[in-house]
């Protein structure tokens, strides 16, 4: 069986970005479980058939897990980068819901502020893929496998 190609070495800038993103996720996840539970509940879409508090707690645990993996598991950074990107994509409807339902939370008390915030979710997806080398290494592995 052929050996799977390994991801290329990463730069200091990517490593710093990955660790910073991991730290931010650990902080955000911890805040889901503690002091910011109520504001995060404002982002749970009304159409989601789950308890708001359960969604906030579960997403907090997931954020802590992804953040920890980004910081302490560089060997698995490509996989974790894809997982983080998928997570940021999955929670984007909550940000859209907050805008559509005109729900105030985290100082987002106008539609303009809530709309401006939407820009940052795709940037988090891109940061996940760039800082881990996930996009870059996926493409190079695909070329090697051909």
Using DSSP, how many helices (H) and how many strands (E) does the chain show? 7, 0
Which of the given ranges, 37-41, 61-65, 106-110, has the highest pLDDT on average? 61-65
pLDDT for 89-100, tens place per residue? 999 999 999 999
Instruction: Name the residue with higher pLDDT: 73 or 8.
Output: 73
**Residue 4 Rama label (left phi>0; alpha psi -120 to 50; beta):** beta
Rounded to two decimals, the pTM is: 0.88
Give me the residue spans of the domains in the chain.
12-135
- The predicted model gives 116-140 an average pLDDT of 91
pLDDT at residue 1 in the model: 56
pLDDT of residue 139: 63
Return the SS3 of 65. Answer: helix
């Amino acid at each position: 069986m052929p050996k799977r190609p390994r991801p290329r070495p990463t730069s200091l800038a990517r490593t710093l970005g990955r660790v910073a993103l991991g730290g931010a996720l650990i902080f955000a996840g911890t805040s889901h479980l503690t002091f910011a539970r109520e504001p995060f509940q404002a982002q749970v879409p009304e159409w989601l058939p789950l308890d708001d508090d359960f969604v906030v707690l579960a997403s907090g645990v997931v954020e802590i897990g992804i953040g920890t993996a980004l910081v302490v598991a560089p060997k698995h950074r490509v996989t974790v980068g894809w997982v983080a990107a998928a997570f940021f994509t999955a929670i984007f409807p909550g940000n859209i819901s907050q805008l559509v339902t005109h729900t105030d939370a985290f100082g987002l008390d106008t539609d303009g502020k809530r709309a401006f915030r939407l820009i940052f979710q795709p940037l988090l997806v891109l940061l996940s893929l760039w800082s881990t080398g996930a996009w870059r290494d996926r493409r190079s592995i695909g070329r090697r496998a051909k």
